[in-house]
């Protein structure tokens, strides 16, 4: 699974959604079309997929509805970004973050789906569903 982050130079990157690996190409093609014409870096939207490392209890969570997925993120621009998840709830992710951070120098932060991206998230999930239906 992959977490999709989107944002601008000014606003920073925020979590759009969590998608299956095979959905990345369709989503990137759509976002490249939507984001392509803007040349002003202050207004331009960027996107990045980050591979998710599943939690050790991921089988216990079952299928997590797309609208309630939460991820943990750690890292920096110099060390790189590490993302874990998805988790079914913020409280579960927070408990896992405490366990991961205990005795370590890295801190993990819970990242929720950004409400600003609800329309985009709905559009991307509909694109992915159409691709699955065609295949």
Give the model confidence (pLDDT) of 30-79 as tens digits. 998 888 776 677 778 889 999 999 988 888 888 888 888 999 999 876 77
21 contact partners, CB below 8 Å, separation of at least 6: 1, 2
Residues 101-125 have pLDDT tens digits of: 787 777 889 999 999 999 999 999 9
- The better pLDDT of the pair 13, 37 is held by 13
The predicted model scores a pTM of 0.86
**End-to-end alpha carbon distance in the chain:** 19
- A 10 A CB-CB count for 33 gives 9
């Amino acid at each position: 699974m992959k977490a999709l982050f989107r944002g601008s130079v000014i606003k920073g990157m925020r979590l759009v959604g969590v998608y299956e690996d095979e959905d990345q190409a369709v989503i990137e093609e759509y976002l490249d079309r939507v984001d392509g014409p803007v040349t002003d870096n202050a207004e331009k939207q960027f996107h990045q997929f980050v591979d998710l490392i599943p939690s050790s209890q991921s089988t216990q969570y079952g299928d997590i509805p797309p609208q309630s997925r939460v991820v943990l993120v750690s890292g920096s621009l110099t060390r790189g970004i590490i993302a874990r998840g998805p988790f079914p709830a913020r409280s579960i992710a927070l408990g896992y973050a405490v366990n991961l951070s205990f005795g370590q120098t890295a801190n993990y932060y819970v990242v929720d789906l950004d409400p600003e991206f609800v329309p985009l998230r709905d559009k991307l999930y509909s694109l992915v569903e159409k691709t699955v239906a065609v295949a």
